[in-house]
Structure 1
Amino acid sequence: MKEKLNVCIVGPFNLGVIALEQLGHSVFKVPHHSEIFCNLPELLKKNKFTPDIVLQVENLGRRTLIQGLDDFDCPTIFWATDPHLNLHWHNSYTKLFDQVLSTQKSIVPSFKEEGLSDVRWLPRFAYDMVSPPIADRKNDIAFVGRLSDQRPGRKWMIDFIKKLAGDRPFPVEQSLSHSDMLALYQDTKIIPNESILGEVNFRLFEGASGGCLLLTQDLGDEQASLFEPGREIDTYADVVELEEKLKLYLGNDSLIQTMGQAAHERVQSEHLPIHRVERILQYAKDTARNRVSGPDAKKWEAITVASMWESGMLDFPVSDVLSRLASLKQDQHVVVATLRIQAVVGVNSVMEDNLMSLLGGKLYENSFCLNLTCSTAALRLGNWNMAKAFWYRHLKSADLINKLPPKTPKDLLILWAKELKQRKLIFRGGFPFNARNHLPHTAIDCLIILYEADPGDSEVLRLIDVMLRSRKELDQARGSFLSSLASNSLNDWRLTFELAMTNLHSYRLDDGLNKMVLARDIAREQGQEKAFIMALKCRDKSGQISKRLRNN
């Protein structure tokens, strides 16, 4: 690769453009346009720009799908900035690129499981800002982020902090411009952080850019590798620990100054846009040609459109979506995408004809995804025998013919849920699954269908709990199911204990502590207090919950 490069950037990375130009490279920034599709070869030819690298940075506000990527002789790279919420369409669109960069290290294996060979971690970036002295800042705490009924945990966090902060300045903003938000951070001492699905989010980097003390959820090694807990940021596992940390820091300007300055220095040394640009250029040097091309490129583009339309994020005529799929050479991926769109539209007779053809022609018998889709589509249509037939096709292909046959639709959905769990397809972040419209793609989707049919079914509630238990970031959702389950099992201290922990992870201090006391008392009455103590010790890493219990 030559020393000075022509780099084409599609998407919101203006600071990256500046950094590239400072390094002596030439940049063509694709201008904003209202159409979802961008014929990039045609645009670059018109502007007489021959790229050495094509980089698309995901735009969270306006989606752009690049056409013609297979025409380029240079590396093509997609930087997924929100893969934890958009994997349902990223996993098809990214096949059009040679290399995928994920802001979330934890999502890299998920991309690779979709068959992508070159996926690398590239975190979000921070900003080159001045860090004013902490003592000169007006606000003790501030929060910028959306508050809605869809995010109850965030509202509970804000209410909890307001109560604890008392009369201290604590602005909460939802609609600031980006520049005004950064200015607010420069005038704030402490930034509490809460993420949607346990992801390392922009707020971490933005707050550190202004030299604030970030008080953020403990997200493990990925976050700790970016900012050192206890020195550059601080973390909490639950609302009890958050309360203790806030009491420590509020009014302690000297300690906040030390840690905020350390975070700011880390930003300056590792997390500025120029650092990300240098890493992208380094990655591009050893990028092989991995993208699909020709008919496969058209296929995955059409499947991407279908996936986006199915999730409700694309304003596009459904007839165009289906015609794109129909124009392709049919394979298991195209058929699955088509069935999912047909299910949303509700063309039941067409869908049933397609299922009959697939079953009668013994087509794609070894495809797990197709058998799942067809079996659950048949359930939607009320065709029990057909639903079972696709399940049996799956058993035969997976050499699992010794399994007990399902006797009811409920049995069948539970069997599919367990198969999906084995494949680590438990939950899709960002996809608004609707049991009336969508066909299930994950274990939780299958169980939600059963839950909505009978919200009091203890077997289904327990299975949902089992599926979600390992996903701490889903505790807010898990709590509502646990509440229903615990109300049917008042003497089960373990359920009450789990409900207490979900409340404490969701900023509900009083409810969480009260239920923890109740769980302890039930365990004590049943002679299982030692088991309760061991369970709490495993989950209460800071020891703060145990300390509170000793006072109750």
Structure 2
Amino acid sequence: MARRTASGFWEAVRRPRFRSPQPRALVLTSGYFLQREALSAMERLGWHALALSLPKGERASGAYVEALLEAAFTFQPDFALTVNHLGLDRQGEIMALFEKMALPLATWFVDSPRLILHDFPGQASPWCQAFSWDRDTLPFLTGAGFTDARWLPLGCDTGLFAPGAPGKAAWERDASFVGDSMAQPSTRLVKRLSRHSGAARAARAAAPDYAQAPERDAISFFRAGRPDLLALWESLDDTLARLDLEQLVTWEATRLYRLDCVKRLAPFAPLVAGDDGWRKLLPGGGFSFHPPLNYREELPGFYPRSKVNFNATSLQMKGAVNQRVFDVPACGGFLLTDRREQMDELFEPGKESATYADPGEIEDLARHFLAHPAERERVAQAARARVLAGHDYTHRLRTMLKVLRRRYA
């Protein structure tokens, strides 16, 4: 790039965008969830895509900046895509480059933007279009300066999650659960908060109440009716400690909620695939355990081998749905999941989804669907048809493209 004149370079990269029906997308990659799925969907759509690997160290390193500018000059993208704001730096240097290049950046949050954006204060930009998997987070994003933030739920790579994937006989069960016990994340946060006397104890004591509360995030829960926790939160001396307190309430509530739910599967001798925390938390007898499964290589063959795939959503997302809601039916499996407000806009209740509103319903519903295989199959096939018709990642990227075209073309 040294041989190019500065004026010629910036003139070349600040070109008109979205002039072709098939866009050119620069995807910032680090091996994180959704990046590979996005690239696969772009290939199936016939888009032109280039993956730019993110550095493991300093996000504004000279080599990374050089690679980003080189890709902008040679590939001539219409937009860049990042997941969870990965590839941006705290100082705002990378976002400033996108602005200088007049290159739209789509950032798709698939985890709490509140927890992520504390690393990126004041970095909302007219050249950054935010999307979130959870509609409940849109007011926060708008308040953080991301104008016109949009809801974009998770989806499925239906080329990967499809009937017929190879599996193991040992996976065949009446019921199974795939997920983290949240024991280790909670323990890590307890250790981090140990220098703040009583903070971890107060957070863990509040977790059961938060699990039942209508508020969708911990800070709203503090403000709505827990002045003691709000005062504790305000007394903490740095932003990270405050976020740790919020996150510990959330993860501990999720741990207790999932444990309560999964325990209710005991009569069906379920297979629980996840971290070692489950072996310590679940009662002896009745449960089988499996180490964490590889998302791409094992889960497509695992889900169809359980008559009832069970799901208990993280309380980080009280109104949203997780990946399993799409992946299980896509490969022909049946899912029993907790009722979530946003799910009703994605699947028709009763016809395309089977849900429980309260953990007390789990055992009876599981027993019902195990006793009625034809009904189980009808729901599974209807859900699969819905995923194929509207919830593939190609559908999500088409929605994203429409938003970006309207704003930046």
**8 A contact 2:260–2:359 mirrored in 1:** no
Deviation of 1:85 (Å) = 6.4
State which structure, 1 or 2, has the greater radius of gyration over its C-alpha atoms: 1
Counterpart AA for 1:255: E
Give matches, 1:124-143, under 5 Å.
Answer: 124-128=154-158, 129-131=161-163, 138-143=172-177
* Partner residue, 2:340: 219
The answer to whether the aligner puts 1:159 opposite 2:280 as a matched pair is: no
User: 5+ unaligned residues in a row in structure 2: which ranges?
Assistant: 1-17, 187-254, 276-291
- Separation (CA, whole Å) in 2 of partners of 1:138 and 1:284: 44
Counterpart AA for 1:250: L
Counterpart AA for 1:173: G
- Separation (CA, whole Å) in 2 of partners of 1:218 and 1:106: 15
**8 A contact 1:94–1:100 mirrored in 2:** no
The answer to whether the aligner puts 1:260 opposite 2:380 as a matched pair is: yes
* Partner residue, 2:193: none
Give matches, 1:164-313, under 5 Å.
Answer: 164-165=267-268, 167=269, 170-174=271-275, 175-178=292-295, 179-197=297-315, 198=318, 199-220=320-341, 222-288=342-408
* Partner residue, 1:10: 28
Counterpart AA for 2:298: D
Counterpart AA for 1:2: R
**8 A contact 1:125–1:273 mirrored in 2:** yes
**8 A contact 1:52–1:75 mirrored in 2:** yes
Match of 2:398, SS state, is helix
The answer to whether the aligner puts 1:71 opposite 2:104 as a matched pair is: no
Tell me the percent identity: 24
Q: From the superposition, tell whether residues 127 and 35 of structure 1 become closer, same or farther in structure 2 (CA, over 3 Å).
A: same
Deviation of 1:123 (Å) = 0.6
Deviation of 1:139 (Å) = 2.1
The answer to whether the aligner puts 1:42 opposite 2:66 as a matched pair is: yes
Deviation of 1:261 (Å) = 0.8
* Partner residue, 2:152: 122
What RMSD over aligned residues (CA atoms) do the two structures have, in Å? 2.7
Q: From the superposition, tell whether residues 17 and 228 of structure 1 become closer, same or farther in structure 2 (CA, over 3 Å).
A: same
Deviation of 1:225 (Å) = 0.7
- Separation (CA, whole Å) in 2 of partners of 1:139 and 1:146: 19
The answer to whether the aligner puts 1:55 opposite 2:84 as a matched pair is: no
* Partner residue, 1:144: 178
- Separation (CA, whole Å) in 1 of partners of 2:26 and 2:358: 44
- Separation (CA, whole Å) in 1 of partners of 2:129 and 2:144: 13
- Separation (CA, whole Å) in 2 of partners of 1:156 and 1:247: 17
The answer to whether the aligner puts 1:80 opposite 2:84 as a matched pair is: no
User: 5+ unaligned residues in a row in structure 1: which ranges?
Assistant: 290-552
Aligned length: 280
Question: TM-score, normalization: structure 2?
Answer: 0.62
- Separation (CA, whole Å) in 2 of partners of 1:85 and 1:200: 18
- Separation (CA, whole Å) in 1 of partners of 2:120 and 2:300: 33
**8 A contact 2:84–2:113 mirrored in 1:** no
* Partner residue, 1:334: none
> What CA deviation, in whole Å up to 9, does each residue of 1:267-304 have, x standing for no partner?
11111121112111111101259xxxxxxxxxxxxxxx
Counterpart AA for 2:68: L
**8 A contact 1:139–1:171 mirrored in 2:** no
Deviation of 1:240 (Å) = 2.0
The answer to whether the aligner puts 1:21 opposite 2:43 as a matched pair is: yes
- Separation (CA, whole Å) in 1 of partners of 2:363 and 2:114: 29
- Separation (CA, whole Å) in 2 of partners of 1:36 and 1:130: 39
Counterpart AA for 1:20: M
Give matches, 1:447-458, under 5 Å.
Answer: none
